[in-house]
Structure 1
């Protein structure tokens, strides 16, 4: 475990780096857009019940998919929505379907793992944190304030999982199943705070950023190793650590460091983002792709694409392309039987497609700019 090397401040300093679109515009063709459409169509044909609108975890199942996979599926549709209005329509429809998972029969509403009649107590904070991020992206695409409202409501549930045991941190599960606090709940929760600050009035924005700072500082102190990668979880009662370093944990912390630099202008955060992104190279396998199942590694692809958009450093793009292309080739050879992984593949392919199109480039040029918060 490594102590926090820097304090988290909110101020204004250096300018945010310019978008490196000269490098991005050098990418031509529509290979990944075609592949993304192919994989998304496969999901529609094999995992979706047209009558109910639900996706299933496996082909041919009648039970709706669990909400973790639903969030990734929604993010895949959001990725497609930047390229084709048909995907935006499907995204809107699926947003309504997801209301069946939304539990209003509790003090602080949130998403249950499966459709609920209300009054449930089986919610996972990480599942809900992912929903916040994808709904904010949907809001950026459409301007529809229903997505923003639900993101804010969901984030309130996520933050309710924080307490002072072990000096802070958000639990993995509201009933403390497994007894752990995990990076996968805290890292996206912090990013949700930073993203929500961009849509809020100054007073509320400051509150969101303070929450994000609190979560980020605790996560760095608790989970970041000497190799700069992030461990998975800690059992609160015993302090026992799961030192496994899944790709998506490091990925979300890279994005938090980027967000902090954008909000504060403090170069320490920008340096931390780049150093941690460089350390992620150790998670690349001999085939050039990231280790871990697609449900985890696609988020490291997303982090690589984000830092590439800001730096133009092609080593980050190379990792993203080689991972996504390897996943696609595996899928073509033997399609995965799990919706969550196929949706993860569609998501990373749509993110690469964004670099191939003027619509995708324009979207991220707008979204990647951070509002300073005093």
Structure 2
């Protein structure tokens, strides 16, 4: 038995050394797997399923784009991948309408668009612009946000619809949260008058969302049915992460303590979204990764290490799950890659410096 153990020891040791242990190694491993199993070099797009040929829909493509941006920040070989991916997404951009926007799939025009899908694109394109300084990312973020905010009307006192065609009759936190944050983030790159306009619109969205959908514990309900006025009280991680980040953005720009207090209240309440058996958020990672991003922003804003630790626990659980059995769908794997690259950002000089600058608001003269 001892001889067998001695013979096995070198192999076991080699396996232990070879296993990725740092977040950088893990992010690199997951990203390489995605490139191998989902990426189409010819089109620059990613398949919806591992080994498949059908391109991912715009929601999953947006998550994947954010993963590519994170990768490109830490590994320059992904910069050309990001550019080609952006070009490939033109196939989703509907130019046959008064206010263009991204359709769920590659467009022939006239399909029902999701305002929340487009709101995610605003945020990731602004991050790409901050990283590269390439104006086309900023231009498309501006164009896309104009489409998102065109979904606002005064039914029920305001709010942005979930669907352009009002399918389901819902106005949802999942669009109003990122839309408000998109307004605040875009304002940082605009001239003073335009910046003031976008900040004001973002504040209007937040006022309506807080009034209509915020629950007593500080988190947000999923949606309200405009026709029946019935509220879907389900509390999901991505409906917490984006309003929380919007509050942090408001605090950074105004210095008003109320906004930080609300962000902290939400950060504490998010413990209710944790699954005690895993120490990770109970939702699928396609939603939960957005709360992980909020945890990291709250950590940067407060220095409270518990938020960083909560983010790490989620990423570790999601990575271990991936190692055991990689999910066949792109959006799940892209969400993990995004989480891991964000953690890498908090461990590398380039990432730390990027978010130090990115978290700063624009000073309006």
Same fold, TM exceeding 0.5? yes
Q: Is the 8 A contact 1:73 1:340 kept in 2?
A: yes
Q: Whole-Å Cα distance in 2 between the matches of residues 293 and 87 of structure 1?
A: 26
2:118 match: 128
Q: Whole-Å Cα distance in 2 between the matches of residues 143 and 60 of structure 1?
A: 34
Report 1:354-369 matches (<5 A).
354-369=345-360
Structure 1 gaps, min length 5: 1-28
**1:51, distance to aligned residue in structure 2 (A):** 2.4
2:8 match: none
Q: Is the 8 A contact 1:55 1:70 kept in 2?
A: yes
How far does the alpha carbon of each residue in 1:33-62 deviate from its partner, in whole angstroms, 9 at most, with x for none? Answer: 111111111111111222222211112322
Residue 172 of structure 2 corresponds to residue 182 of structure 1: yes
Residue 88 of structure 2 corresponds to residue 116 of structure 1: no
Give the alignment's Cα RMSD to 1 decimal: 1.2
Residue 89 of structure 2 corresponds to residue 98 of structure 1: yes
1:346 match: 337
Residue 182 of structure 2 corresponds to residue 198 of structure 1: no
The count of corresponding residues between Structure 1 and Structure 2 is 345
Q: Whole-Å Cα distance in 2 between the matches of residues 206 and 359 of structure 1?
A: 30
2:4 match: none
Secondary structure of the structure 1 residue equivalent to 2:275: coil
Q: Greater Rg, structure 1 or structure 2? A: 2
Q: Is the 8 A contact 1:46 1:60 kept in 2?
A: yes
Q: Is the 8 A contact 1:121 1:174 kept in 2?
A: no
Secondary structure of the structure 2 residue equivalent to 1:108: coil
Secondary structure of the structure 2 residue equivalent to 1:82: helix
1:247 match: 237
121, 146, 155: which one aligns with 1:156: 146
Q: Whole-Å Cα distance in 1 between the matches of residues 246 and 363 of structure 2?
A: 15
280, 292, 295: which one aligns with 1:301: 292
Q: Is the 8 A contact 2:189 2:362 kept in 1?
A: no
User: Which is worse superposed, 228-237 or 52-61?
Assistant: 52-61
**1:365, distance to aligned residue in structure 2 (A):** 0.9
Report 1:1-374 matches (<5 A).
31-117=22-108, 119-286=109-276, 287-373=278-364
**1:272, distance to aligned residue in structure 2 (A):** 1.1
**1:30, distance to aligned residue in structure 2 (A):** 7.6
Name the one with the larger helix percent. Answer: 2
How far does the alpha carbon of each residue in 1:111-170 deviate from its partner, in whole angstroms, 9 at most, with x for none? Answer: 0011113x3231100000000000000000000010000000000000010001111000
Q: Whole-Å Cα distance in 1 between the matches of residues 41 and 360 of structure 2?
A: 38
Q: Whole-Å Cα distance in 1 between the matches of residues 256 and 230 of structure 2?
A: 34
1:17 match: none
Normalised to the residue count of structure 2, the TM-score between the two structures is 0.93
Q: Whole-Å Cα distance in 2 between the matches of residues 373 and 275 of structure 1?
A: 28
**1:289, distance to aligned residue in structure 2 (A):** 0.6
Q: Is the 8 A contact 1:125 1:172 kept in 2?
A: yes
Q: Is the 8 A contact 1:234 1:242 kept in 2?
A: yes
Q: Whole-Å Cα distance in 1 between the matches of residues 219 and 260 of structure 2?
A: 16
How far does the alpha carbon of each residue in 1:226-248 deviate from its partner, in whole angstroms, 9 at most, with x for none? Answer: 11111101111111111111101
Normalised to the residue count of structure 1, the TM-score between the two structures is 0.90
Structure 2 gaps, min length 5: 1-19
Q: Whole-Å Cα distance in 2 between the matches of residues 54 and 197 of structure 1?
A: 29
Q: Is the 8 A contact 1:262 1:371 kept in 2?
A: no
Secondary structure of the structure 1 residue equivalent to 2:74: coil
